[in-house]
Amino acid sequence: EQARLKAGVIEQDTEEWQKDSSFAGLERVGGVDLSYIKGDDASACASLVVLSYPALEVLYEDCQMVAVTAPYIAGFLAFREVPFLVEAIQRLQQKEPRLKPQVLLVDGNGLLHHRGFGVACHLGVLTDLPCIGVAKNLLQVDGLARDELHREQIRSLQTEGDAFPLTGTSGKVLGMVLRSYNNSSKPLYISVGHRVCLETAVHLVKSCCRYRIPEPIRQVQKR
């Protein structure tokens, strides 16, 4: 099933607003996340927020408690979580179709994944929305490792907006490491989800950061 869905991933820009470096025409950016109750891996809160762009003010929010039944299997997290996020987007389309996001920032990975199909790709293909994976930690796949070289590269990111590519031993660029905020030396790991190229993904995430975590994801996690 994962391989079948993966065939639908589009790794380049498809939207008019992506052609302009100022993202003219982009008005709504969404953030999604599923967070669990401490000590209970079956009860979770599935959340979606939509923010205005570029002002980054909350236009819409949806938080629902859900019962997660699929088991956790490394590399297949999306099968456990994505159905609830798809439902949140469907509720939005029914209630407030004019607030549908033009792009989604997903707390997790996209192409930076064991088989190149993380939660941001999975959600993107199922909703047909442009999606970007934004992770706080490095997923160690394709020879990527949190070794001294990696830490040295992170230290070389001196100012917000500085970034370097994550190139696996396969030679494929799986994502970018971005210093998103001057006051935090901890970077973000950005990867393509669907219908966006890596350069656009990094540029957009940076433009959504008031702090280390981009505002759509920060707002969804606050809720």
E strands, the chain, are 28-37, 40-52, 58-67, 103-107, 131-135, 163-167, 173-178, 188-194
Q: What is the CATH number of the domain that holds 15?
A: 3.30.2170.10
Q: What percent of the chain is helix, strand and coil (3-state, nearest 5)?
A: 30, 25, 45
As averages over each run of 10 residues, the pLDDT of the chain (223 residues) reads: 97 97 97 93 96 98 96 93 98 97 98 97 98 97 96 96 97 97 96 98 98 98 91
Q: Whose CA is closest to 82, among 108, 51, 116?
A: 108
Q: How many domains does the chain have?
A: 1
Angle at 52 between CA 51 and CA 58, to 5 degrees: 40
Residue 107: which of 91, 117, 116, 120 has the closest Cα?
120
- For position 136, what pLDDT does the model report? 97
3-state secondary structure (DSSP) of residue 19: helix
What local confidence, expressed as pLDDT, does residue 223 receive? Answer: 87
**Domain carrying residue 58:** 1-222
